[in-house]
């Protein structure tokens, strides 16, 4: 698995710069950019902060794309995919909406 590539993928899906990811994760931008310059992997605590910023768990991060189908149906995967792109305020609004249904 290409961990750094997957971080970039999640970041670009949200149209975030490295700076925005740093702000949302609580890590410094220099830490994040050094992973790419030095071809280093983030530590588990750093990756956990990255996942928190993306609104996903470490388990979800490490799932391969085709693994989702074995855990969830297509509708659930689609819902999670869109929900993961929301900021915290949008996500909370979605949760409140779903509770009303």
In this predicted model, what pLDDT tens digit does every residue of 18-56 receive, in sequence order?
Answer: 999 999 999 999 999 999 999 999 999 999 999 999 988
Tokens representing 62? 């490490």
pTM over 0.95: no
Residue 26: the pLDDT is 97
Tokens 């969830």 identify what position?
A: 72
Residue 96: the pLDDT is 93
Confidence of residue 1 (pLDDT cuts 50, 70, 90): confident
Length of the chain: 101
Residue 73: the pLDDT is 65
On whether the CB atoms of residues 21 and 32 are closer than 8 A, the answer is yes
Where do runs of H (alpha helix) occur along 1-101?
A: 3-13, 18-25, 29-37, 44-54, 58-62, 68-71, 74-84, 88-100
Q: Which numeric CATH code is attached to 1-61?
A: 1.10.260.40
Domain-wise residue ranges, the chain: 1-61, 63-101
Degrees, nearest 5: CA angle 47-64-49:
15
Distances (CA, A) of 59 to 44, 48, 54, 81, 89: 12, 10, 13, 15, 23
97 has pLDDT over 50? yes
pLDDT in tens, 63-95: 876 555 455 667 777 888 888 888 889 988 998
Residue 10: the pLDDT is 94
């Amino acid at each position: 698995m290409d961990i750094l590539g997957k971080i970039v993928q999640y970041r670009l899906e949200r149209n975030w710069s490295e700076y925005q990811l740093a702000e949302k994760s609580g890590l410094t931008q220099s830490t994040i950019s050094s992973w790419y310059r030095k071809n280093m992997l983030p530590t588990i605590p750093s990756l956990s902060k990255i996942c928190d910023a993306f609104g996903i768990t470490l388990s979800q991060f490490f799932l391969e794309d085709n693994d989702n189908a074995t855990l969830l149906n297509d509708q659930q995967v689609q819902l999670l995919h869109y929900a993961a792109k929301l900021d915290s305020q949008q996500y909370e609004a979605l949760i409140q909406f779903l509770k009303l249904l």
